[in-house]
Structure 1
Amino acid sequence: MSKRLTRVYRVVAAFLTAASLVACTTTGAASHFRHARLERHTAIPQTPDEIFVALRNAALDNDAARAAELASQLPNYPIPSYVEYFQIRPQMFDSQGKALVDAPDDVIRAFLSKYRGRAIADRLRNDWLLVLGKRHDWKTFDAQYAKFVLNDDTQVKCYALMSRASRGEQVGVLARDLLVHPRYFGEGCVDMINMLAQMKQLTPDDVWFQIRQAYESNYVTLGKQIADALGDQRPDDALLDMAANRPTQLLARGIQDTDASRQLALLAITRMARNSPALASASLGEISAYLSPQERQAGWGEIGYQAALELDPQALDWYRRSGDVRLSFPAQQWKVRAALRAGDWTAVRSAIEQLAPELRGDSVWIYWYGRALSATGQPEAARKQFERISNQYNFYGQLALEALGGKITIPPRTTVTPAEVDAMRNVPGFLRAEKLYALNLRLEGNREWNWELRRMDDSQLLAAAEYAKSIELYDRAVNTADRTRTEQDFTLRYLMPFRSAMERNAAAVDLDPAWAYGLIRQESRFIINASSTVGASGLMQLMPGTARLVARKIGIDYNPSAIHDINTNLLLGTNYLSMIYNQFDGSAVLASAGYNAGPRRPLNWRATLTRPVEGAIFAETIPFNETRIYVENVLSNTTYYAALISGKPQSLKARLGTVFPQ
């Protein structure tokens, strides 16, 4: 490395010391976890229900001694399978959630036999598969994996590939296809990467890609664990930490002519791009001569991705320099979005054609591919793309239908008989779910409810949804009706409970009730006492500070304990939505985004515009995944609610409108 280049990085490193990246650590999370455990144990449970909830919390904390003590106090509890499960589970995992290889197999087998066919048995089998996989007991693992119904755990899937590899199968391609979401890797997938690397089924380049993918998403500890698969070629932790936290300092050391040195430099570029794509671009330009063509392309892809998340207009130019190099799933999709933002339909088409097959089949990319084909002079090919999804009742299906010249209408309603509804009252899983919902244990309740829906036909699903509505489990009514394929009842899919209160509050602030309903359906699914992890509450999921602010603005006394009161929540929520709508000059896209992410963020996103863009493109390029999905779902919901309320065809595209620069 030249002296001049070394000096450049030393100067930059000194200049950016205060802005250096911070690695993820587990210390804060562990401290919070311990604090949460202490809080759970401060209240002494008295009633059987309180003891049961305390038992469940002990099981989540993997506190086997306390779970056993609490379970002994519930000899005749109405859902004994859960009492037993919550006693067994903490014997399978340690306090950090890692599987214990000495879990009690005989106890587990007895439970699975006793509760065969139930949701809770499948849940325990999922847990046991993690133990068996860590133990590398492939004979038992394979026997149990064949019985695992949901098969929705990435770690378990990684262990399943390890089992196949242990029998001599080549599973490297399947592993690469599976390893796309680092947040779900856990012990199982790290173990698989190590095993397949040792067997030469994953190359060092594959391992480095996974390290970079983890660091790209800020899973630094995971990245270091994956690095163990490099064996003798693994850089020491000091160098990995330097690349992650002090990338300019790492580059200032110079680049040696070794794979590890070049890959560390690329990792440093990846991390630098999270903080400053422009600096990463300048840095990659300086070191490009030391990298292979593929490594340079990977670096430009990382820079393009981080720039796209910042809505930087240079993002597409950086992406272009990445060619067709392998990128993470998020980076691939943001390449399309960067092209959409730039209005370059040729680049949109090219980027979609480069997507992984698993992504290209998503309705989002089918729709935008159709748009790209239409914009580049291929109307018949575009029509075929739109026809693929125009019968889907979602945001992109609606847009595709409109692209074909249609309007959004409500499909014919299929009704069910009272006898069909009444038959749902004695479904065992529903009865268990109702008990769990009464204790506000929605995770467990949803598992029981959804388990019973697996084999239902459309008529049965509608009967189950109608039953849920009759007992005011409105979220289950909506979610259950959403599952039907050919028979529909949109009065269940798009319920309108509390209608008089809603229409009264919406009318008072001249707010479209369809929009308010569309928002509530997305926010809380009509769960009155819904509470989010960040403190939002009630039907319209108001934050405490927002509720106080709105109450003060409209001149009412506000008691925080009233946030779950239907009338109070609707009063404050509709007023807040109206305020945001007026702030954004009547843009439903900006206002919906502001309701979810706070008003300042949509203002910032709008400020990056250099030209007017259609609302669908603005929504598609919202850089927060949660907010992007939220806006699309809210406005899709709103369009159906408007069709139900008015009885007239609607246009989602018209609601999306155009977003103009500030």
Structure 2
Amino acid sequence: MPTAPVAAPAPAPAADTRADDDNFLLLREAARKNDAAGTNALASRLPPTYPLASYVDYYRLKPRIRDASAEEIREALRRHEGTAAAELLRSEWLLEMGRRRDWAGFEREVGQLAGSNLQLRCYALLARASRGEAVAQEARGLLLDPEYYGEACAALIAQLVQDRQFSEDDLRWQLRLAGEADATGPARRAAALLGASDTRAAQAVDAPAVAMARGIGKTPAERAIYLVAIGRMARTSLKVATVALEKNSPQLSAEERAIGWASIAHAASIKLEPEAYTWWQRANGIRLTGEQLQWKTRIALRRGDWKAVRATIEAMPPNLRADSAWVYWLARADKHEGRTAEANAAFERIASPHNFYGQLALDELGRQVVAPPPAAAISADELAQAGANPSLQRALKFYALRLRAEGNREWNWGLRGMSDRQLLAAGELARRNDLLDRTVETSLRTRTELDYAQRFPAPHLDVLHPTAQGLGLDKAWVYGLIRQESRFISDARSGVGASGLMQVMPATGKWVAAKIGMDNFVHGMLNDLRTNITLGANYMNMVLENFDGDEILATAAYNAGPSRARAWRGVLDQPMEGAVFVESIPFSETRGYVRNVLANATNYAAVFENKPQSIRTRVRPVQPRERTSILP
């Protein structure tokens, strides 16, 4: 990728520049390995004028964060004040001060950083608790995701137990959360604080059959561990879990039985089992986790039980209830109950052309998605100002080194506090440097001045249009999918091996190539833009035909595989509202994917057709019928 921040071609890098870049990459790797001697030696080879000098200091100090003097760290922070690298260094230093329980230093340096990092927030509460402050209520609102607790949040829980700010009920709640999140370490720690066996708690998470075979136990803590095992077993075998819970119910309290049924209902909901609705009713009256509340709501939606939909959404914590999905479905419950004014007020709060539920809300209000008029062109001065932004310059350097994650961090740092016009100028800068993903993400931050040419770009139209037209495919849907799959990064590669603009898997590419008579196909061809579009568009057409033209099912199949989409459809015995089907897709990734693709496609159609669009033309009732599959 070009490194120049303007459209003019960059000069060829000099030999010493290439050597500096090589040394920087070695420095980064040495820091990753915590090689203090190596980072010090490599950092000394790089000149103070190196474009990424702030990261040179960061990588040099990171392996020595435990031993470096406070003055040395402060000097680096002063030298690079206001940069993303300084924030990274300060975060590392704060975590080290938290581990050392240096609360005076921690609170002197933390500033606004405590709000952006779970571990730092836990240390901030721990610092206050160490002075005798009551922080339990704040901690309960924070400690909801054991997978990311680390030492900081584990220490906070232990301190709150020691100070008697956390009760056994709090610890049993943490044990439930750990079991749900498959977080063995936090489960061990919660059990130990309860005075129970941490080994048995680990077995409940990792080997539930073994834990269940040990018996239900005699103490509330042991029974809590047993219920974790029931919930984990339900993910594998609902039958084994339900039989065990029913057998041991006489030895459980009413609350414990309800907790067990909630875990079973949760697992059954994810599997779209019909018994889930009944099992949720057996869990009435207890506190549910955030995930359980959401799945209970989804099952109520599938049953058309609007009373339960309302009750469960209203039981959600405020941050979850404010999500546009649950604002929308609560408004739908209002509408079902004849509370039209309340429903319309809620729809108005989230109505927006920019996302799935915003578009559905627009539809409920009788409005459609309309592409705004083109934004005023970016001037040369505006573009030059963007190109002179130091953070954006560092980001472009990272992209040139093929360090996309670091580039994205720097790019996002540089966008802070920008006006709409400055954001659009930065988006144009990204476009001129062939970084369409940054163009899209940057333009999405504008508040009043919307540029759909940036938000919904349509590159490679000379290749995609004839391909889509020849297959009879809606190019708005194709572009909506590409925007979600790769954000137009032509050399994108996923962790599972999908490649290119349309993120085609090698096995899928080979299968589609054979179907369309592309005899010379080899995996490397997936990186060729024309081949990638040809194979991806043909596969989209195949899944669309296989699912009777249903864009919901075809989009889900493209992401999760046709067999899963067939299975989700296969449990239907009557047509289901499309939005309900989408909301109850078992995989969270696929659920979000389908939402985004369909919302994207609606916006692209507004641009391509130059007329208002309704997402309802794509979110139609999903039918249970399916013809014989031709897909793997």
Which segments of 5 or more consecutive residues in structure 2 lack a partner in the other structure? 1-16, 626-632
Q: 1:387 to 1:268 in 2, by over 3 A?
A: same
Distance 1:426 1:190 in 2: 44
Find 1:88's aligned residue among 58, 61, 76: 61
CA contact (8 A) 1:577 1:591 kept: yes
Deviation at 1:284, TM superposition (A): 2.0
Find 2:298's aligned residue among 316, 337, 359: 337
- 1:380 corresponds to: 341
Report the TM-score when normalising by structure 2: 0.92
Find 2:26's aligned residue among 54, 58, 61: 54
One-letter identity of the residue aligned with 2:548: D
- 2:189 corresponds to: 225
Distance 2:283 2:611 in 1: 48
Q: 1:251 to 1:436 in 2, by over 3 A?
A: closer
Is residue 603 of structure 1 aligned with residue 566 of structure 2?
A: yes
Is residue 168 of structure 1 aligned with residue 168 of structure 2?
A: no
Q: 1:617 to 1:388 in 2, by over 3 A?
A: same
- 1:398 corresponds to: 359
- 1:484 corresponds to: 446
Distance 2:374 2:138 in 1: 43
Q: What aligned pairs does 1:388-467 form with structure 2 within 5 A after superposition?
A: 388-391=349-352, 393-418=354-379, 419-467=381-429
- 1:624 corresponds to: 587
Distance 1:190 1:426 in 2: 44
The two structures, once aligned, show a CA RMSD in angstroms of: 2.0
Distance 2:375 2:18 in 1: 47
Deviation at 1:85, TM superposition (A): 1.3
- 1:267 corresponds to: 228
- 1:590 corresponds to: 553
Residue deviations 1:426-482, cap 9 Å, x none? 111111000101111111111111111110122221221122222221111100110
Distance 1:245 1:441 in 2: 36
Is residue 651 of structure 1 aligned with residue 607 of structure 2?
A: no
CA contact (8 A) 2:386 2:426 kept: yes
Deviation at 1:48, TM superposition (A): 3.3
Residue deviations 1:31-78, cap 9 Å, x none? xxxxxxxxxxxxxx9843333223223323333344334334434633
Residue deviations 1:581-615, cap 9 Å, x none? 11111111111111111111111111122221122
Q: 1:203 to 1:416 in 2, by over 3 A?
A: farther
Is residue 135 of structure 1 aligned with residue 100 of structure 2?
A: yes
Distance 2:383 2:47 in 1: 33
Distance 2:521 2:527 in 1: 12
Distance 2:213 2:28 in 1: 52
- 1:564 corresponds to: 527
Deviation at 1:248, TM superposition (A): 4.8
Is residue 496 of structure 1 aligned with residue 468 of structure 2?
A: no
CA contact (8 A) 1:193 1:229 kept: no
Q: 1:103 to 1:588 in 2, by over 3 A?
A: farther
Distance 1:70 1:598 in 2: 46
Distance 1:183 1:246 in 2: 18
One-letter identity of the residue aligned with 1:373: D
Q: 1:630 to 1:236 in 2, by over 3 A?
A: closer
Residue deviations 1:375-407, cap 9 Å, x none? 233222211211111136211000001011111
- 1:67 corresponds to: 39
Distance 1:251 1:147 in 2: 46
Q: What is the total number of aligned residue pairs between the two structures?
A: 606
Which segments of 5 or more consecutive residues in structure 1 lack a partner in the other structure? 1-44, 93-100
Deviation at 1:271, TM superposition (A): 1.8
SS at match of 1:535: coil
One-letter identity of the residue aligned with 2:251: Y
CA contact (8 A) 2:185 2:202 kept: no
Is residue 189 of structure 1 aligned with residue 189 of structure 2?
A: no
- 2:205 corresponds to: 244
Deviation at 1:539, TM superposition (A): 0.8
Paired-residue identity, %: 46
Greater RCO between the two (CA within 8 Å, min separation 6)?
2
Residue deviations 1:478-513, cap 9 Å, x none? 001101112211121111111211212212222111
Deviation at 1:254, TM superposition (A): 4.2
Q: 1:61 to 1:613 in 2, by over 3 A?
A: farther
Deviation at 1:519, TM superposition (A): 0.8
SS at match of 1:485: coil
Distance 2:256 2:32 in 1: 43
Q: 1:331 to 1:60 in 2, by over 3 A?
A: farther
